[in-house]
Each structure stands twice: as structure tokens, then as C-alpha cells.
Amino acid sequence: MKLTAKVKLLPDEEQRAYLLETLERANRACDYISQQAWDAKVFSPFKLQKRVYADVRDRFDLSAQIVIRLLSKVCDAYKLDKKTQRQFRRHGAISYDDRILKWYTDKERVSIWSVGNRLNIAYQCGERQRELLRSQKGESDLVYHKGAFYLLATCDIPDPTEQETETALGVDLGVTNIATTSDGEMMTSATIERKRLKSAKLRGDLQKRGTLSAKRHLKKLAGKQARFQQDVNHCISKRLVLESKHTKRAITLEDLTHIRSRTRVRGTQERARRSNWAFAQLRFYIAYKAKLHGVRVDVVDPRYTSQRCFECGHIEKANRKSQSEFSCCACGHTAHADVNAAKNIAFWAEVIPPIVSSKQKTA
């Protein structure tokens, strides 16, 4: 499977200037290539290369291989659709391959092509990234973000053997409780919601203030809530995967694709709360961590999971008394609504073939 290792480059002032100029010149070249592709309606890498390769090399004074990478970048941008001419950010990321980037993991340095010839630059990373870089294979992206340079390296690690399972750990995903398992464990969103409200109030107050100091503070706050929620999702997904691995069970989730378009919410606060619900991110984290540990992840149809009684199988909308209360109208069984739903998810995974297995990309 392919994973991405993110490392931070530590260039000196001269190297930093060369890297910035490299990104700027490369993206100017991308804009030029895009213009030529748009005018000629040629979006195939091979045909576009024959048309503009020599011209781009002469016009922008770039090496042969970097021009090939830029042609691929432009053609990839047009794969989504060919209805709009593509333009590229001044400091947009560019890809490097083994001909123009060499990793020296023992010294924690890279040799990277730039407009100032080859640069030998130190980098820093965590232990997990060092482990991944031992399997580095393929392209690496040079990224400039908030004044710092990063390399995103593609690492191809072997897939572990998937463990055999007979039962499943059902996981109900929600807004009030981020994840609830069929074992009765609930991971609440109370902390996330509290921080979201606090952050929203602070941003509103700063925007009303409008001073230079307030704007500097707003800039520091940018992305803080998203990073916190990302960390929470990482922790929850790791917890679920390790629990499934230790108990030799598969993980079963509801298929919540397009859930926002299928459901309605009332009120500004509730709409903001649901918009902040990063269930797709959590599912992605569960999928790739599970693959790393040899745990199977299945997805089942979410219909009636919250209305079906786990004990007797009776399905009725009135069974769900409130967000947290489930009381069966037929047999009188009571339980927390999310726990009951998670048990239904686990049950259906065992008796009904899943509608799809999770095959999301992990790179």
C-alpha cells in the first residue's frame, strides 16, 4: 500500500531563495503549457509534449525532467474536466522523481534540482516518517506552506496479511457521539463542539474588531480547529482498529456517502454543527490504519439501523424516542440509541454480505 511521509526541509537563505524561484518559474511554465493546451485542445501528455516541450525548455530555462513533470501536472489538472482553462498558483506544489531528487535517509538530507542547480538540503521528521522513508518509492511533491518547505514522499510498504475473522465490531458514526461501538463504548463529540463554539465566538469577536492586531490573531487561528479535529479522528480510528485487531474482529461502518444531501437540518447552529462533522475523514483514517494492521473494513447499508430493535428485530420509526433513547414498541427493549444502532450494524455485517468493502486510496 502507498502512504505519504511528510518531512520539513531546512534550507539556508540562499537555498530558500532558489526553491522559491523554482516554484515560481515552474508554475509560470505550467500556466504557459496550460494556455497552449487550451488553445490547441490537446490534453494528452504525449501529444502535448511533442507540441511544447522544446519551447518550454528554452523559454523558461528548465531541465528536461522537470518539464516532463510539469507537463504531467497540467494534463492531470485537465482530467477532471476540460471545460475551464486551468491556472496555477504562484507557489503551487510540483512533483519530483528519482532523476531530479535523491534521498539520503542515513544523513537526513536530500539532493534536489532547482533553478540554482542541485541543492543539498537537510530535513527533519518524526520517527514514523523515518520508518516510512525506508520504503520510499516514486514521486515526491515539493510544497510551500506558511513560509516553510515540505517534501511529501510516496512510500510503498508491503500489505500485511489480513487476519481471519468471524464476527464484526459495529461502529455507528454520528454528530453527538462521533463513534459508538457495538461493545457499548461511546466517543463523544463534546470536546470538539466546545472548542468549535469557543473558536467561532473568538473569530467573530476578532472580525468585528478589525484591527491589525486582530487580523494577526485571526491568521494564527487559521486551521487550528481543523487540526484539533484531525487529531481526535486519528486517536479514535487508532483506538477502533487496535480493539478490532486484539479481538480478531472486522470493522463494519455505515455507508454515509452523500449523507448531507440526503438529510435536512433546522437552524443555523445545527447546520454549522453538522458541517463540522468530519465523518469522511474518520472513515478514511479507519480504512488505512486497518489495512496497516490487517483488519478488514466493511460497509453496510445504513437504512433502519436506528429504527430496528436489536433484540427482536422489530422496525418502527417510533422506536427511536430521542437522539439518545431507544425503546422498542414491540418487546419493550430499551438501550442507548447509538449502541443499539451499532449492534445492528455488527449483526447485519455477519448475516448479510456488505454492500461494499472499503477500498479507499491510502496515499
Lookup result for grid cell 501528455? 45
| Burial category of 102 from C-beta neighbours within 10 Å (exposed 0-12, middle 13-18, buried 19 and up) | middle
Residues of the chain with pLDDT under 70: 261-267, 270, 350-363
Residues across the chain: 363
Q: Which three cell numbers stand for residue 183?
A: 461493545
For 23, the 3-state DSSP assignment is helix
C-alpha 127/C-alpha 265 separation (Å) is 43
Residue 117 is classified by DSSP as S
Which uninterrupted H or E stretch holds 156?
Answer: strand 148-156
Residue 320 is classified by DSSP as B
Strands 109-112 and 168-173: unpaired
What's the confidence (pLDDT) of residue 256? Answer: 84
Lookup result for grid cell 533553478? 115
What's the confidence (pLDDT) of residue 159? Answer: 82
What's the confidence (pLDDT) of residue 196? Answer: 85
What's the confidence (pLDDT) of residue 359? Answer: 47
358 closest CA partner among 262, 242, 261, 241: 241
C-alpha 125/C-alpha 78 separation (Å) is 33
What's the confidence (pLDDT) of residue 363? Answer: 39
Tens of pLDDT, residue by residue over 106-126, are 999 999 999 988 999 999 999
What's the confidence (pLDDT) of residue 284? Answer: 92
